[in-house]
Amino acid sequence: MRVAELYRYPVKSFSSERCEELTINDGKVIGDRVLAFRFADRGAPHDWGWQRKSNFLSLSNTPGLSLLDVKFDDQLRQLMFKYDRELIVQGSIDSIAERITISKAIEKFAFTLEVNPLFDHPERTPLNLIGDGLQGLFYDSKNGGVTVYSNESLKAFQASMGSEIDGRRFRTNVVIDCADRWQELAWNGYVSIGNVDFKVVKPVARCLATHANPVTGDRDQDIMGGLTKANGYDVPVFAIRLEPLTSQSTIHIGDSVRVN
């Protein structure tokens, strides 16, 4: 087995960045889930503590977020959003004024979508862009971790569904090749990726976010129901969550994957 693709997601529930390598620090991928848009009634703009995803603008409540392309330059600290290749907003996350401008632009975009959590909920606005761009604070679980699935499992799921399924629906960090289908869901104990050792935590339970088509922004397939039929688990799971055993490490495209 080997690493075929690597991804990180700078802004919670927004588009991915494909990477040649991922650096992991204190159990989380650097640059992954380091920013998020939270509802106004769920805390002050400077409160960056972990909260449940229901308190944020997310694919679960706003599938049309898939239509936005996001770029975060973590060196220049610049955040940029495009819609249909046109720039809608750009700014520095180190400027309070520019954070507000970015938040207003994303709020305005959300209100244009048929499915959004802001309509008839004035208490949720204004949206607040939170996070320092460094710490991975906005995972679905407090501990973060690294998620992995195999292309063979994705192909098996596609066959079960009878249609193409875009792997980006699952917002996973590591995609591997040359595994048996669904093999990763049965991993236990320890796994090595390149020279990095991980402890297996558990399969990743999936939510309504996976129903959002990454290209159209529509909820177009019952992914959750399809998963329970495809892999035999009682709950919809896809990919496995790993916990790194070293404080800082790097994994690369092409690294070998070994179950210990």
pLDDT digits (tens, 9 = 90+) for 63-98: 999 999 999 999 999 999 999 999 999 999 999 999
pLDDT digits (tens, 9 = 90+) for 173-217: 999 999 999 999 999 999 999 999 999 999 999 999 999 999 999
Quick one: pLDDT at residue 52? 92
pLDDT digits (tens, 9 = 90+) for 32-63: 999 999 999 999 988 988 899 999 999 999 99
Quick one: pLDDT at residue 143? 83
Quick one: pLDDT at residue 27? 87
- pLDDT tier, 158 (very low <50, low <70, confident <90, very high otherwise): very high
- pLDDT tier, 247 (very low <50, low <70, confident <90, very high otherwise): confident
How much is the pTM?
Answer: 0.94
Neighbours of 221 (CB within 10 A): 18
Backbone torsions φ then ψ of 147, nearest 5 degrees = -105, 145
Domains of the chain: 2-29+140-259 (2.40.33.20), 36-130 (no CATH)
Q: In whole angstroms, what is the distance from residue 203 CA to residue 192 CA?
A: 17
Quick one: pLDDT at residue 84? 94
Burial environment of residue 36 by CB neighbours within 10 A (0 to 12, 13 to 18, 19 or more): buried
Helices (H), the chain: 96-111, 151-161, 223-231
Give the contacts of 234 (CB within 8 A, at least 6 positions apart): 228
pLDDT digits (tens, 9 = 90+) for 248-258: 999 999 999 99
Tell whether the model's pLDDT for residue 224 goes beyond 90.
yes
Tell whether the model's pLDDT for residue 142 goes beyond 90.
no
Strands (E), the chain: 2-8, 17-19, 21-25, 28-29, 36-38, 68-73, 78-83, 86-92, 128-130, 146-150, 174-177, 190-193, 196-205, 237-244, 248-252, 257-259
Tokens of 31: 């640059």
